Amino acid sequence: MGIAEGKTALVVGVANERSLAWGIVQNLVAQGAKVALTYQGEPLERRVRPLAEQVGATVVGEMDVMNEESVGAAFARVDELWGGLDMLVHSVAFAEREDLQGRFLNVSRQNFSRAVEVSAYSLVSLARAAEPLMEKRGGGSILTLTYLGAVRAVPNYNVMGVAKAALEACVRYLAVDLGEKSIRVNAISAAPVRTLSAAAIRGFYDMMHEVERRSPLRRALNREEVGSMAVALLSTLGSGVTGQTVYVDLGYSIVGL
């Protein structure tokens, strides 16, 4: 039996087969979990449904994280499907492409607010919707994805770094709020991996090669490595861990000059 056998998991943010969220889905399914996916808009639906079929996951429908009614409806469908929820994966982030290059100083008020709302507040919204479903199961686990740019100034990461810093703070405060209900909240900070969203960052491949060159393990990160750590944190293997940002970055974050 897998370590997630009999558990239920909602994964939000699968974009395609290269996304970190998809790697997490594959690992959850391999460890016995029942998985549900959402999508936002028809273009993503066309990508998500075939992936769900590959692993026997359920697509519970469209969810717009910027719309509370849409979030509530998606979680209601999950409740109807399973009568509760054990695990939630939040893999949602957004910044305008123009703000992922040049000077951070030039970001507009509107773009700043939108990046933080989509990338960080959405975790709060999803956690609030998940709380009653996880209470039915006697507890649960929530996981989100972040990056080193939350704590260091990374060229061209700009407003997304600010949004990820807010996201990591949300993890800590949510962990405090939900801990008494045996709901854990953590984040994985992964090294750069080729994904759809990463392609928008100017100089992304330079970032990835820098990790390969300077990290202690001297290689690229495999998205399956993120998936396996995610399952560990989501499952009982991580039962004593909450409010933490766990680095899965080949050791790059420990390196100085």
Tokens 């849409």 belong to: 70
The sign of the torsion formed by the CA atoms of 174, 20, 241, 216 equals negative
Strands of 34-39's sheet in order across: 58-62, 34-39, 8-12, 87-90, 140-146, 183-190, 245-248
Length of the chain as a residue count = 257
- Could you count the other beta carbons within 10 Å of the beta carbon of residue 186? 23
CA trace torsion 70, 76, 77, 83 (10° rounding):
160
CA distances 88 to 6, 155, 161, 235, Å, are 15, 31, 23, 11
Residue of 218, 205, 204, 222 whose CA lies nearest to 255: 218
Annotated active-site residue 157? The verdict is yes
Annotated active-site residue 252? The verdict is no
CA within 13 Å, CB half, 85: 30
CA distances 84 to 26, 43, 78, Å, are 21, 29, 7
Active-site annotation holder among 39, 121, 147, 252: 147
Beta bridge partners of residue 11, listed in sequence order: 37, 89
**Residues labelled as active-site residues:** 147, 157
